[in-house]
Amino acid sequence: MSIPLLTESARQALQQEAESFHYEPEVETIGGGDRIVRTEYSSCNQFPDAGLYPDFKQAFQDLMDQACNGLVEYPFTTPLQFTELVLQRYLPGQLGITPHRDSLRAINLIALVNLSGQAEFYRCDDRQGSNAVQLDTTPGNVIFLRAPGFLNTSVRPFHFVTNIQSTRYSLGLRQRQGVTVTS
């Protein structure tokens, strides 16, 4: 599912700050046999203690908490608490990432916020990309992916990023199993 999230001014501010960070290349082949995943992008997971990104993470957490508090039944097996923030930068012509599932350590919900750029994001049935469904990556939108613990299931959808037409920055928020946030 992809839905609008950010105002244009908030998106632009996050985008501008994203351009100032240091990114590490993620160019590798992971796995073997019929479980190969190829990646070509860069990532950043080091952020200042104060600033736009920690503030965004807290505001997004508050928004999700508020939404969950309005539900009759809580949708997660453990309390939702985003513990990981990662920026990914995809440059035009790069591979992106082939069909894969997020790690079993990611639980409850994964949120991917597209800050800028044009690329294609798909959810699919398997590593071959069968029955691929393109999701809306309009800058400012958030894509939600299920993770183990959502609605008491262990679902981890396959997904991939391809056809990078312009520099794409996306922000991933995840909850890692066994990691807690301290205030």
pLDDT tens for each residue of 20-42: 999 999 999 988 888 899 999 99
* Tens of pLDDT, residues 141-177: 999 999 999 999 999 999 999 999 999 999 999 999 8
Q: Is residue 182 part of a domain?
A: no
Q: Is residue 37 part of a domain?
A: yes
Structural domains in the chain (count): 1
Q: Is residue 183 part of a domain?
A: no
β-strands 37-44, 84-90: how paired? antiparallel
Q: Is residue 181 part of a domain?
A: no
Q: Which domain holds residue 88?
A: 2-176
Contact 142, 79 (CB under 8 A): no
The CATH code of the domain that includes 38 is: 2.60.120.620
For the question of whether the overall pTM of this predicted structure is more than 0.75, the answer is yes
